[in-house]
Amino acid sequence: MKKFTAILLLSIGFVFNSFAQSSEEDYKKNEVKLNILNTIVQGSVELGYEYFLGIDQSIGVEYMINDRFGYNAQGSGGKDYRTNSFQVAYNFYFLNEADISNSYSSIYVYPFFKYRYGEFKEDNEPDIDMNSTMIGIGVGYKWVRNNKFTIAPYVNIARGFSEEVENRFTAVEINAGASIGYRF
């Protein structure tokens, strides 16, 4: 009887483990995204890619074309941003359920490293070299629909390490956005 009980418990454990693994293997591991909010508001294009290491964590990269310092307007007062940037982040998702379904949502947190390059020009002022590195942290909320389409509003704060940029702007930069994505 003890052997039967042990075999039954082992079998039940195996079945539950198989279900847990199959649900974890069903998630899509790649996501491409566009920050649609900043494209509309600032005219910048922010393209991103995430590779999921597990259902609750991923590595993300973003390339930002016409990147601005925070939400400073282009063109007002003769301001001309000629900057782009590259960002690498490690995303931690706090899922509402232990297993994922076709549609779910989650809060996520991401520490990141960002490198901005280019220059800033303002009327009657010398050009400012915007090349700088930044480290920061962000938080967001992601909705996943049918394990394919995503919407994710987020906000982040970063500390820049460029004395020249700091003299014109500030060392701390706040940014926000709302990305739409597709998983495959």
Domain assignment present for 14? no
In sequence order, what are the beta bridge partners of 138?
110, 156
Token pair listed for 16: 């539950």
Domain assignment present for 45? yes
Which stretches of the chain are DSSP H helices?
Answer: 2-25, 36-41, 163-168
Into how many domains does the chain fold? Answer: 1
Domain assignment present for 4? no
Domain assignment present for 2? no
pLDDT on residue 100:
65
Q: Is the pLDDT of residue 90 over 70?
A: yes
pLDDT on residue 8:
45
Token pair listed for 114: 């960002």
Query: How many other CB atoms sit within 10 Å of the CB of residue 99?
Result: 14
Find the distance separating the first CA and the last CA of the chain, reported in whole Å.
48
Give the integer Cα–Cα distance in Å for 142 and 106: 5
Domain assignment present for 77? yes
Residue 74: pLDDT band (50, 70, 90) is low
Give the closest residue to 148 by CA, choosing from 36, 21, 53, 26.
Answer: 26
Residue 27: pLDDT band (50, 70, 90) is confident
Domain of 101?
A: 28-183
CATH at residue 50? 2.40.160.20
Domain assignment present for 65? yes
Domain assignment present for 165? yes
Q: Give the pTM.
A: 0.79
3-state secondary structure of 79: coil
Q: Which residues 6+ apart lie within 8 Å of 127 measured at CB?
A: 119, 120, 121
Lowest mean pLDDT among 57-61, 156-160, 165-169: 165-169
Domain assignment present for 8? no
Residue 97: pLDDT band (50, 70, 90) is low
Compute the mean pLDDT over every residue in the chain, rounded to the nearest whole number. 84
Give the integer Cα–Cα distance in Å for 20 and 98: 9
